[in-house]
Structure 1
Amino acid sequence: MIAGFADVTPLIAVLDYAGVAVFAATGALAAARAKQTIVTFVFFAAVTGVGGGTLRDLLIGAPVFWVHRSDYLGVCIVAAALVWLLQADRWRLRTLLWLDAAGMAAYAVIGAAKGAAYGVPPVAQVAMGVLTASFGGIIRDLLANEPSVLLSREIYVSAAALGAVVYVVGTQAGASTFVAGGAGVIACFGVRAAALGCGLTLPGYRDR
């Protein structure tokens, strides 16, 4: 992270940790559903929690955000331990999907903000938001042998893109990072929640 990135606004700092924690919890939940060991819980939590941000930082030439700091991996370990202690194998898949939606909303804004902090152009900022929000979940599903949401018609990546676009357009228009970030999170989570609650999907290729 560049100096002071997490301190751009209190909202960005909170979203940063919240995104890691929530995505880490979804990784641990996937391990719980597969009846894995605590070691696998922690591994899934860490890979899911930091996966998207790692890809983002590598692409924009930033120091990988968790390598020189222990707090992010600590958040992943705590999330995994809580899921283990709360006997999350009894939780329904729906819980994972709603947690994933919350983490995605936070990370869509964080990814775009990190891209902006490193001077990438607006369109690339949106791309960084999408990658940060979706890549950890993709890795989680592959490791857990779960059907990837990318191979369904669910509104997923498009929700992350909307959140990132709202943030980028807002900041480009002169809005504060607090206002733009809050609007981006609400837009992303709102669309994803509508998709989960109402079964909204995108049309497929050559649908009639």
Structure 2
Amino acid sequence: MELDFSEVIPVILLSLYISIFSTCIASILGMLFGIPTALFKFKGKRLIVHTTDTLMSTPPVLMGLLVYLLLSRKGPLGKFKLLFTPTAMIIAQTLLVFPIVFGLTVSIISKTGKPIINTCITLGANRKETFFAIVKENRAQLLSIITMGFGRAISEVGAVMMVGGNIKGFTRVMTTYIALETGKGNFNEAIFIGIILLIISFVINYLLHLFQRRENR
């Protein structure tokens, strides 16, 4: 069976759009909350960290179920009619990626943040300047975290299938396309999309490797 590129290309583009958008949201929020959490002591910090560690390994289908219940007609957000839309898929992927970015950011900044803060205080930097200094000094590690988050997002299948419905031309992405075509016995299509996923993963990791090499010079 020949590949129908008029169907495959939109699937690839939608996958990239949803994964990139959800990763950006999760990364921004994860770092905005993760850096202060790492640097300051407050009541409940240990509970937050332990809860995040648990959420990092949350089964995607469980997250999909929670988002489904939130967005369903009888759910608290049902009035917005977001279920079985790309927006619902972005919400699910964002909730999956956020704990990864938050947890790893806390882990890294807890080890490197204090010396940077002391230097910034000595130089008279304000809080905003200190925050950006921490990000700049840890940019290679933070970029690695973002890359891991993107990998989690673009490889997700269970949650996005539950909240997106795998609707042709609307919510069908690469992972759900592979699952569907494999079930139908159309292995050529499934293998082709699988190769595209591998190429995307290779390109992202190669660019990260180049960036880290440049930083280490």
Q: TM-score range, shorter-chain basis?
A: 0.3 to 0.5
- Which structure has greater helix proportion? 2
TM-score (norm 1): 0.34
Relative contact order, CA 8 A, sep 6+: which one is greater?
Answer: 2
Q: TM-score, normalised by structure 2?
A: 0.33
Greater Cα radius of gyration, structure 1 or 2 = 2
